Amino acid sequence: MNPSPNLFLVGPTGAGKTTIGQRLAAHYGLPFVDLDVEIEKRHGMSIASMFEREGEATFRARESAHLDEFSLRQGIVLATGAGAVMAGANREILMTRGAVLMLAVEVDEQLDRLQHDTARPMIAGGDRRGRLEALADARNHVYEEVADLIFRGRHEGPDDALPRAVALLDRHWRRA
């Protein structure tokens, strides 16, 4: 496992990267960065608006630039966007600049967690199950490739998941 003071969270939409990330950051006394939130703040619009107005390619370029910037910090917990791992340069950044924890989740659990979510462009429109399954087929092996550790969701709330995630990290993550 990468002996880094940084912890990077990767995984599919609805895996809990933000929710668990915030709690892990508090537990370890580290600042938390949500990459998507930082992109929205800096560019003054939602990710959905960026996709709609400027296209996915422009968003992905911004995402890569912000990942490069924030991953240079020392001692942070950073939640990536679900698609950030698809760029090879981003995978290299993640694997070399931090310990990477994949939050794995089944499609049924994603559907439960995202049932009221209308803001995510990659799952907008009809047939959410089909979209989530297609994204899982395309991305899960990439998440696993970059991950030092994999934390599997169990249809549980964050209060139950956090102690399991901390126990996993405490067994394996040696912060430099």
Task: Please enumerate, by residue number, every residue annotated as part of a binding site.
Answer: 14-19, 36, 60, 120, 139
Query: Which residues does 68 contact at the CB level (< 8 Å), separation at least 6?
Result: 93
User: Torsions phi, psi of 87, nearest 5?
Assistant: -90, 130
Binding positions for substrate: 36, 60, 139
Binding positions for ATP: 14-19, 120
Query: Which residues does 47 contact at the CB level (< 8 Å), separation at least 6?
Result: 36, 39, 40, 59, 81, 119, 120, 121
Binding positions for Mg(2+): 18
Query: What is the per-residue burial (b if ≥16 Cβ within 10 Å, else e) of 101-111?
Result: bbbbbbbebbe
168 forms beta bridges with: none
121 DSSP assignment? G
